Amino acid sequence: MGNTNFHHALKIREDLCIGCSHCMNVCPTEAIRVKNGKSVLFGDRCVDCGECFRVCPVSAIIIDHDDFNNIFDYKYRVALVPAVFTGQFPVDISLRQIFSVLIDIGFTHVYEVENGVEILLEAINETSTPQPEKKPLISSFCPAIVRLIQVKFPALVDNILLLKPPLDISALHIRKEMEEKGIPAEETGIFYVTPCAAKIAAIKDPVGEAASAITGVINMDILFNRVYRQVKQKNNHTCALPSGSKLSNVAMCWSLTNGEAPHVKGRSLAIDEIKNVIEFLERLENDEFSDIDFLELRACDESCAGGVLTISNRFLAAERLRNHVENFQPNPELQYPDSLRSIYQNSEYLQENISIEKVYPRSILKLDDNMAEAMKKMERVNRIMQLLPMVDCGICGAPSCQALAQDIVQGLGNIKHCIFIQKILEQKGELNLEDSVKIMQDIWGYGKTNKYRDLKGI
């Protein structure tokens, strides 16, 4: 089964958390509880989708990324830039200007992530048609979706396409190219500019491979602001780089919704936003769909354009990238852009190393390693749920009655945490008011309960 815990980019700052439960209520895998007035993350359930980060009203949820100054630990410093990063900038700022500033602030090379798309697309379409029980193939592009399937839909892990995403393909190519130039591997640092937390987690703790070819991860939010300020300060005509070639039309939109699906053979569907994905996968598990060959699943609305670390409105960013495609005038004398020609020179090496190992489930539904004991626990969960009100109010500090029942069976909760059960026990004389208040304090903290002690005059 491998490791039981994931590396997580999302962290909760206890000193800032006010225990408002916003994060608990939006988490799609029920990975958050409230205890002693603070949010607590269950690491085995979290998929780093970032929904909690979006809704926290006090910025108590942070994303753990590498310090920008880490790039200077390397002689050769490569910025691995996704198309959605350039899509954050207004249309009057060119790729040439953006990349020039990246060189000015410390990188020695700038490389676009989606150059790896052409290699990947060939591999996808060369993949043999899966057996009926393994249809549809599910894209491995979005790491939050891969983790979601591991923890919430373990029966579907064999459907995951065991191919590296363009990010990893491009990183492999860069390392190979640097080595061919005689540059020692330890002198090259490859830093990905990420639009989301899930890709940070995937680089630090990759699924299906021992280690990533990428050295570190730079927060897109922070880097955008730094680059944008410098672009505006510079003379628009003063650039360190000459005009370069653009990504192919397919590559430019690969990270957007419907970026993959139209280019894969067979019947393909594209679904974005994690709740939509969960709904679809639940129905897929129940065999409600047939004759689907490929699924492009993305955790964010508008895919990477809607990542939690992006700046621009996701719809405007997606529009800019699609407009780049529509307005692109290819050079008839140039069959491939320079960067694409370079990656094709390494295509044999990349194809040999494009596969990842089998992905294993990490089910949050597994109550015990021993099957007999797990069945007993499941029976107990069902009995407890019959006693609970099934209103999913969250006052117990868990996101649902089912989650509370599972916590009780695992020794992480108590049935007295349910406010309805408390009132019944108070009526029966089996629980006094002081004990009831103490239970609420253990969940929501002393401050929230203490301020309501004197309600006179209200």
What CATH code is carried by the domain that includes residue 112? 3.40.50
Q: Say if residue 311 is exposed, middle or buried (CB neighbours under 10 Å; 0-12, 13-18, 19+).
A: middle
- At residue 347, the pLDDT reads 87
pLDDT over 60 at 230, yes or no? yes
Residue 155 inside a domain? The answer is: no
pLDDT tens for residues 27-39? 999 999 999 999 9
Question: Range with the lowest mean pLDDT among 23-27, 131-135, 144-148, 290-294?
Answer: 131-135
Domain termination residue (choose one: 352, 384, 414): 352
pLDDT tens for residues 108-131? 999 999 999 989 999 998 875 556
> Across all residues in the chain, what is the average pLDDT?
89
- Given a contact cutoff of 8 angstroms between Cβ atoms, the answer to whether 118 and 247 are in contact is no
Residue 269 inside a domain? The answer is: no
Residue 274 inside a domain? The answer is: no
How many domains does the structure of the chain reveal? 3
Mean predicted confidence (pLDDT) in 129-152: 86
Residue 142 inside a domain? The answer is: no
Task: Give the domain extent around 384.
Answer: 367-458
pLDDT over 70 at 411, yes or no? yes
Q: Quick one: 313 and 232 in the same domain?
A: yes
Which residue type, as a one-letter code, is found at position 90? P
Q: Quick one: 324 and 440 in the same domain?
A: no
pLDDT bin (cut points 50, 70, 90) of residue 243 is low
Question: Range with the lowest mean pLDDT among 57-66, 243-252, 291-300?
Answer: 243-252
Q: Quick one: 93 and 239 in the same domain?
A: yes
- Given a contact cutoff of 8 angstroms between Cβ atoms, the answer to whether 47 and 148 are in contact is yes
Q: Quick one: 19 and 60 in the same domain?
A: yes
- At residue 333, the pLDDT reads 40
pLDDT tens for residues 319-331? 999 988 766 555 4
Tokens, residue 200? 């940070």
Domain termination residue (choose one: 352, 384, 417): 352
Residue 325 inside a domain? The answer is: yes
Q: Quick one: 418 and 444 in the same domain?
A: yes
Mean predicted confidence (pLDDT) in 239-255: 75
- At residue 329, the pLDDT reads 53
pLDDT over 60 at 341, yes or no? yes
Q: Quick one: 104 and 190 in the same domain?
A: yes
pLDDT over 80 at 92, yes or no? yes
Mean predicted confidence (pLDDT) in 170-195: 95
Residue 151 inside a domain? The answer is: no
- At residue 17, the pLDDT reads 96
**More confident call, 168 vs 135:** 168
Q: What percent of the chain has pLDDT over 70?
A: 90
Name the residue among 252, 226, 231, 229 with its Cα closest to residue 241: 231
Domain termination residue (choose one: 12, 30, 64): 64
Q: Which residues contact 203 (CB under 8 A, 6 or more apart)?
A: 192, 212, 214, 216, 217
pLDDT bin (cut points 50, 70, 90) of residue 455 is low
Q: Quick one: 204 and 99 in the same domain?
A: yes
Q: Quick one: 58 and 75 in the same domain?
A: no
- At residue 214, the pLDDT reads 96
Residue 76 inside a domain? The answer is: yes
Residue 46 inside a domain? The answer is: yes
Q: Alpha carbon of 435 to those of 138, 422, 430, 440: distances in Å?
A: 50, 9, 10, 9
Count of CB atoms within 10 A of residue 436's CB? 17
What CATH code is carried by the domain that includes residue 56? 3.30.70.20
Q: Quick one: 205 and 321 in the same domain?
A: yes
* Whether this model's pTM surpasses 0.75: yes
DSSP letter, residue 62: E
- Given a contact cutoff of 8 angstroms between Cβ atoms, the answer to whether 277 and 268 are in contact is no
- At residue 127, the pLDDT reads 74
pLDDT bin (cut points 50, 70, 90) of residue 344 is confident
Q: Quick one: 185 and 77 in the same domain?
A: yes
Residue position matching structure tokens 């190519």: 173
Phi, psi of 41 (to 5 degrees): -95, 130
Q: Quick one: 317 and 373 in the same domain?
A: no
Torsion of CA 56, 60, 66, 68, to 10 degrees: 90
Tokens, residue 53? 């980060």
Q: Quick one: 334 and 438 in the same domain?
A: no
